[in-house]
Amino acid sequence: TQLLEQSPQFLSIQEGENLTVYCNSSSVFSSLQWYRQEPGEGPVLLVTVVTGGEVKKLKRLTFQFGDARKDSSLHITAAQPGDTGLYLCARAAGNKLTFGGGTRVLVKP
């Protein structure tokens, strides 16, 4: 059972379009991390959000943490083929992370 629900599971868009992926839970997060994973490689940390309502920007990526700290979103503006990958959210609990099921994003040229 996933404690973190990510949606959609799969997203295919054309280069230049925008996209948003979501990460939701029924319980409150102390913090939330977003990772991107390319095929055959390990995930790479993109950002950590800690404060309810927080917005962080990383070039064309915008990360938002819900006011109640139960949800988060990742918005990509003008997507490029290099944005293709598996996007994973994860919440911290003690020394451990619990990962969502991921959203696979395909950006076609």
Partner 1 sequence: SQTIHQWPATLVQPVGSPLSLECTVEGTSNPNLYWYRQAAGRGLQLLFYSVGIGQISSEVPQNLSASRPQDRQFILSSKKLLLSDSGFYLCAWSRSYNEQFFGPGTRLTVL
37: three-class secondary structure by DSSP? strand
List Cβ neighbours of 68 (8 Å cut-off, separation of 6 or more).
28, 52
92 near partner 1, judged by CB under 8 A: yes
- Residues 51-80: x/- map of binding to partner 1 (CB under 8 A)? ------------------------------
- Rounded CA separation 80/32 (Å): 25
What is the Cα–Cα distance from 86 to 35, expressed in whole angstroms?
Answer: 8
Written as one letter, the residue type at 83 is: D
Among 1, 42, 59, 109, binds partner 1 (CB under 8 A): 42
Residue owning tokens 């055959």: 40
CB of 67 to partner 1, least distance (A): 22
Which residue among 14, 59, 96, 109 contacts partner 1 (CB under 8 A)?
96
40 binds partner 1 (CB under 8 A): yes
Q: Is 45 in the site for partner 1 (CB under 8 A)?
A: yes
Position of tokens 């490029």?
80
* Residues that bind partner 1 in the complex, under the rule CB under 8 A: 2, 6, 31, 33, 40-45, 48, 86, 88, 92, 95-102, 104
